[in-house]
């Protein structure tokens, strides 16, 4: 069973639990948004998908920053 295109790829890349501190490169080409990231990430998205992904990244980034702040403060 092959599953989805992202299923096997996601499990292989997420299994190493590596955290990257360099931002990905993003550019617009021919009406598409192209993301080049670590470990050979190369993704093309429609503008609408890129906007939604951007919003999700932003919201999750704020949440993660808040978690780090709470973690660093003694209770």
Please state the pTM of the whole predicted model. Answer: 0.71
Residue stretches of the chain with pLDDT short of 70:
1-16, 75
pLDDT for the residue 20? 93
- Residue 3's pLDDT is 47
C-alpha pair distances (Å), 71 with each of 18, 29, 31, 63, 66: 20, 40, 41, 12, 8
Half-sphere CA count of 43, side-chain side, radius 13 A:
17
């Amino acid at each position: 069973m092959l599953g989805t295109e992202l299923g096997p790829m996601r499990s292989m890349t997420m299994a190493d639990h590596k955290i990257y501190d360099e931002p990905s490169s993003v550019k617009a080409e021919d009406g598409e948004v192209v993301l080049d990231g670590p470990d050979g990430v190369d993704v093309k998205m429609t503008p609408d998908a890129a906007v939604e992904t951007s919003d999700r990244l932003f919201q999750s980034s704020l949440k993660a920053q808040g978690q780090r702040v709470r973690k660093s403060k003694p209770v």
